[in-house]
Chains A and B, each alone.
Chain A
Amino acid sequence: MKKILAESTLIIIFSILIGCMINLVRPDGIPFVGDWRNVSETAKKSDMQTISIDTAYSLWSTHQAVFVDARTDSDFATGRIPGAINIPRGNEDMYFGILRGSAGYDDTIVVYCSSETCDDSFVVAEYLRRKNYKAVNLYEGGIVKWQEKGYPLEK
């Protein structure tokens, strides 16, 4: 058994070395540590459409988009963009029915969370894309920037 464990350890060490070396020399190698906490950085790593606070406000004020709040239900209760639907990260399936009742698959969806330093909106946006929503956008600034701008909140 000791021999098997030793072989396994050698294989893992060898694989780590090979993987790291190839990643260093290949043109499309990725950083060994990437910041996945930040919604903007995370969105950049995928082909997710992101929108600014101005675009988000414009879409909201002209009722051209359905807003989805990806924060917990308690955060949602303390203040949200008026008309937003809550789909908390981690409970997507449970809350998804509310959105299905109010938005078609071709409707513009805007997903947000607290601020740029959360990635809940990214995870929920990915979930909605898997559910075949075609126009899912990430509003990166989140509720913090919305408040800073003095835009209305609903409780």
Chain B
Amino acid sequence: MAGERVSTGKMSVINKVIYWFLRLFLGGLFIYASIHKITDPLGFAKIVHNFQLSPWYMINFTAVVMPYVELICGLFLILGIFRLGALFTIEFLLGFFTVLIAINIARGLDFTCGCFSNSTEKTFLDIPLITLLRDIVLFLMGLYLFKLEKPYFEKNYKKDERLDTTMPDCHS
């Protein structure tokens, strides 16, 4: 539900701090990562092209759409709008980026990630293995955030369970 309240009431103080840190950090990072792509779509299209994994006809479309997926996921995660959907999408994107980077490392390609800049100049953070490691760490942070959302799943699980047990009665 949009704007659903977070049930952090039962969390310990340390978990609450971690929960809000992860939510703000991941959300903020995705917003930050989208800005340079939105301001320079052609530059980002060039980065997508250099990855050499997208069909040529999808390069521009990816460059137009992807930054807004990142921006809206980041915003929604922070604001709590479709919070779990936003987190799920962020996790999907991080997993997807990790696979793409791993493929290009395996192919021995020299490439820049384009994650936080459209520049083709390489920095320390653009070393492929560092990029891969960073994405894996971010992915794990997202998974931990999902784990901290456990009360939400338990609540829904119980709801489903109640539904299941009432089903036979409905038919009898």
Residues of A within 8 A of B (CB): 3-12, 14-16, 18-20, 22-23, 28-37, 42, 45-46, 90-94, 119, 123, 126-127, 129-130
Contact B60 A30 (CB under 8 A): yes
- Supply 8 A–B pairs (Cβ within 8 Å), ascending by A: A5-B85, A7-B84, A11-B73, A18-B68, A92-B110, A93-B110, A123-B52, A126-B120
Identify which of B67, B72, B121 gathers the most chain A CB atoms within 10 Å of its CB: B72
Establish whether residues B42 and A19, one from each chain, have CB atoms under 8 Å apart when the complex forms.
Answer: no
Is B57 located at the chain interface by the 8 A CB criterion?
yes
Majority SS of interface residues in chain B? helix
Contact assessment for A45 and B42 in the assembled complex, using a CB-CB cutoff below 8 Å: yes
Docked CA distance A23–B60 (Å) = 11
Least distance between B159 CB and chain A CB atoms (Å): 11
**B residues with CB within 8 A of A:** 41-42, 45-46, 49-50, 52, 56-57, 59-61, 63-69, 71-73, 76, 82, 84-86, 88-89, 92, 107-110, 112, 120-122, 156
Partner of B86, one of A11, A45, A127: A11
How close is A37's CB to chain B, nearest CB, in angstroms? 5
Complex: chain A residue closest to B108, CB-CB: A93
Answer whether A15 and B41 are a contact pair too, CB < 8 Å, given A20-B64, A94-B108, A126-B50. Answer: no
Contact A11 B41 (CB under 8 A): no
Q: Are A45 and B68 in contact (CB under 8 A)?
A: no
Shortest C-beta distance, A102 to chain B (Å), equals 19
Q: Is the CB of B67 within 8 A of A19?
A: yes
Chain A residues with CB under 8 A of B67: 19
